[in-house]
Amino acid sequence: MDAHAITCASWNMLKAQLEAGAISSLQIVRAFRNVYEEDTRSASPLGALVEFFSDAEEHARTADNLRASCAQSTKTAGANGGSVSGKPLLGLPFAVKDNISVKGKHCTCGSKLLADYRAPYDATVVARLRAAGAIPLGRTNMDEFAMGSSTEYSVYGPTRNPRDRSRTSGGSSGGSAAAVAGGQAPFALGTETGGSVRLPAAYCGLYGLKPTYGLLSRYGVVAFGSSLDQIGFFATCIDDIALALSVTSGKDLYDSTSTCPPPATGRHAVSHHLAPFSAHECSILRAAVPRELVDAPGVHPDVSAQFQRFLTWLRAQNVQVEEVTLPALQAAVPVYYLVATAEAASNLARFDGIRYGQRGDTDALLENYYRAVRTSGFGPEVQRRIIVGNYVLSRHFSGDYYRTSVRVRSRIEQECTQLLCSYHFIVCPTAATGAFPLGERIHDPLAMYCSDLFTTFVNLARLPALSVPVGTSGTGLPIGIQIIGSQWQECAVLRLAKRWEEAPHV
């Protein structure tokens, strides 16, 4: 397996090669490092990774030595290959969004304010991946404090789309998506508050999972909207996502919002060996298509065509597909931005230049000190959302805005839950268009916010959703659709997506 083949391979392909002894973890890390370094020297770099960890090769050597030691001591290579018990991800690298803590590494959230901050501990999801043998490869670019849909609001500059470098990779986890799609990492972590995993996945032609709220611990993630945030995954195949979920999900004592699925949900645990739905199972499945999203203004004809192609495929599998109405979805985007900005204003109050962040002029009065530090440290989009959030929470308007938005959010969650009692899935496009040109929406906040039209209701309703690449536009831009399930039904979502992935036309 040569270096180019390594950087095009999925986690599961690399895992098989490692266990067969065909390649080493050190070869894998070096192959990705070479792609990263070559890209940084190009005239138009992707801007996907903002740091390639200097100790990644050292960890790769340790993984190779452990694998060799276990293979020699057990002498059962014929049965187990080079596998190591308890470490299903041994030697496999992954990239980490810049708002997820990796012990001893910078965690800047794409902001000038946290330029010198280093994480004192691993995020729980990172720790669980490490415990399974995986290797953190580097930090990925992001919109500052995860506030954006294009990865243009970053102190490191924009991230470009590997398919067309004049276009966005999506946001706010655009660096993670571009790293995987651009051959700089085989797998990456992102975070979602209102679509920040699924949108970049759709724009870059990847699978992107946003799990049920609470399935993965948020401990070690710099908070944006605490009732919305969730770590998600970017991968080139379904099995990679299943493999990651199998080692990272579950209750964490450090995060009170994390939980194990209630037994009454009948949720099947996601395992590495995930089988697609059989033909018989497909015949009893029902999928709902919300008219409010399919008929939304601004949906590009290429997106509509690819979505209809996916629906045609579903019907060919004998899945019952029906159009439905979800009236509350019309309020999803404004409700999301009211809730998210209010929570952001509260969460970002800690970044005052005293407890966290860059220091300012210590001779200034305290109020002036706060103003100076936050004005110079936060970018314009973060400042805008903090101002809106504080306005929403102000004493005279909290009843009109915040409490009303919370009530409407409950209505959205209730409508989605009731619908999913009758249907197994909701399906819709991930975005109204393919990746848009860099700079097109950065000076038009409302246009940027409308990029989240198809995604925010999922976060408000705390549902699992997977963006699935289904084709390309007439100009070759990737197009994604979403498979959305009931809470805790990640296994069902992944199994349907795997049947699509294994279909002859894919």
Q: Which residues are catalytic?
A: 97, 172, 196
Q: 235 pairs with which residues across the strands?
A: 207
Q: 39: part of which helix (H) or strand (E)? A: helix 25-40
Amino acid of residue 477: L
Closest Cα to residue 199, out of 440, 480, 443, 458? 480
Between CA 334 and CA 92 the distance in angstroms is 40
In this structure, what are the phi and psi dihedrals at residue 465, rounded to the nearest 5 degrees?
-150, 145
Between CA 497 and CA 494 the distance in angstroms is 5
The angle that helices 380-393 and 366-377 make with each other, rounded to 10 degrees, is 130
Amino acid of residue 460: L
User: Other CB atoms closer than 10 Å to residue 251's CB: what's the count?
Assistant: 13
Q: 232 pairs with which residues across the strands?
A: 190
Between CA 373 and CA 360 the distance in angstroms is 6
Q: What is the 3-state secondary structure (H, E, C) of 363-412?
A: CCCHHHHHHHHHHHHCCHHHHHHHHHHHHHHCCCCCCCCHHHHHHHHHHH
* Residue matched to tokens 């699925």: 261
The angle at the Cα of 505, spanning 290 to 296, to the nearest 5 degrees, equals 20
Q: 429: part of which helix (H) or strand (E)? A: strand 425-429
Measure the CA dihedral 380/382/383/384, to 10°.
80
